[in-house]
Amino acid sequence: MPLTKGVKKTAFSLQLFFAICLPSINAWATEPSPARQTEIRNLLKNDCGACHGLTLQGGMGPALLPEKLAGKSDELLVTTILEGRKGTAMPPWKPFLQRDEVVWLLGVLRVIMP
């Protein structure tokens, strides 16, 4: 049975919506509370900074500056942070951070230095 114009238009609208909204996982993230944001920033400075440098300019791990993160997808970075990297010193942070918190943190790293 052929689709009516209304159904086709609705299907197209949904495809357009998902094409625009889904690639950006930041759009779906819940922002942590101000207190949790402070905790995450401290974790970034102290724990991540131990390998990525206290100014995040690199060390044992790569730099986490906006220009170094450019071109890397949020999904790749979220997975790396949560799951770690086998065969490297990068541990999984899943026990300490929720996915939405990592997405928020990436937004901070992509824009400003903490």
Q: Is residue 114 very low, low, confident or very high in pLDDT (cuts 50, 70, 90)? A: very low
What is the reported pLDDT for 102? 97
User: pTM here?
Assistant: 0.72
Distance between first and last Cα of the chain: 57
The class of domain 33-111 in CATH terms is mainly alpha
Query: Tens digits of per-residue pLDDT, 4-55?
Result: 555 455 544 444 344 444 444 445 558 999 999 999 999 999 999 999 999 9
Q: Give me the residue spans of the domains in the chain.
A: 33-111
Greatest Cα pair distance, the chain, in angstroms, is 63
Handedness of CA 47, 53, 58, 64 (dihedral sign): positive
Query: Tens digits of per-residue pLDDT, 47-96?
Result: 999 999 999 999 999 999 999 999 999 999 999 999 999 999 999 999 99
